[in-house]
Structure 1
Amino acid sequence: MKTRTINPTPWLQHFNLHHGVEVTGGTRTLYLSGQTSTAADGSTLHAGDLGAQFKTAWANVKDALKEAGMGPSNVVRLNIFVTDVDAFMGIAGDLTALIKADGTETVCTLIGAARLFDPDVMIELEATAVA
């Protein structure tokens, strides 16, 4: 598999994100359900701490990728659902740097949601990966 990032304008690169990712030679596509800051039993972790919830949700994405024989570098699309867009944007640079450090070159959509499945869940990450 080979990827090529598409950036007609540079502003998304400030967040370590891209306008597009072209994939050639991929043979498998993995669509992940939204991953949240939950323990193995489904209980919510880090209520009230958006940054910690992002880190746990990202760890859960990586666990699901590993189970599929993939890793963070296989992620080509990441949708981020948050209950507080302003709070997320205040820490977005730090959080997207974490996915960049894992070798992820992705496109991303940020979506504000009034509420997620549990009132204590502040963020949900939905990923598509190609190998």
Structure 2
Amino acid sequence: MSKAEIGPRMAGGKLMYNRAVRVDEPRSWLFLAGHEARDEEGGIAHKGDMAGQIRLTLRRLAETVAEGGMTMADVVQIRVVTTDLSACVAQYDVLMDELAARHCRPASLLAEVSALSDPDMLIEIEAVAAH
């Protein structure tokens, strides 16, 4: 399998997002439902803390990716939805740094919604991985 980044958008020397990621001849696809910042008891952690929710959400996403037999480097698309776009944008470096640390360079979407499934959720991330 090969991957090619198309139209990377950089900010301060860091990848903000790719406009597209081309995947040729993957063996497996993994479609990941929306993940959120849930603690070990299933409650939302880091209430009111966008950076904390971003970090934990990506950790939970990485755990699911690993359960699916892949790594975050295999993630080719993410969709980030938030209830507070300005707070998310203010913490976007956290998202970029967390993805970079996991060698994850996906095509992405960032959008604001009026509500998520739990009122304490500030962010939810879904993904697609190919290997």
Matched residues in 2 for 1:5 and 1:19: separation? 8
Unaligned runs of 5+ residues in structure 1 are none
Structure 2 length as normaliser, TM-score?
0.92
Q: Is residue 2:115 matched to residue 1:102?
A: no
- Tell me the distance in 1 between the aligned counterparts of 2:121 and 2:43: 10
Aligned length: 128
Match of 1:63 in 2: 63
Question: Which residue of structure 2 lines up, in the alignment, with residue 82 of structure 1?
Answer: 82
SS class of match (1:13): strand
Deviation at 1:29, TM superposition (A): 0.7
Structure number having the greater helix percentage: 1
1:108 counterpart SS class: strand
SS in structure 2 of the partner of residue 69 of structure 1:
coil
The alignment yields a C-alpha RMSD, in angstroms, of 1.2
Structure ranking higher in strand proportion? 2
Residue 113, structure 1, aligned to residue 107, structure 2: no
Distance 2:41 2:110 in 1: 27
Conserved in 1, the CA contact under 8 Å of 2:82 and 2:88? yes
- Identity fraction in percent: 26
Runs of 5+ unmatched residues, structure 2: none
C-alpha separation in 2, matches of 1:71 and 1:41: 25
C-alpha separation between the residues in 2 aligned to 1:82 and 1:43? 18
User: In the aligned structure 2, how far is the partner of 1:34 from the partner of 1:118?
Assistant: 12
Give the drift of 1:36: 0.1
Give the TM-score normalised by structure 1.
0.92
2:55–2:94 Cα contact (<8 Å) kept: no
CA deviations 1:70-98 (Å, max 9, x no partner) are 01000000000101001111121232121
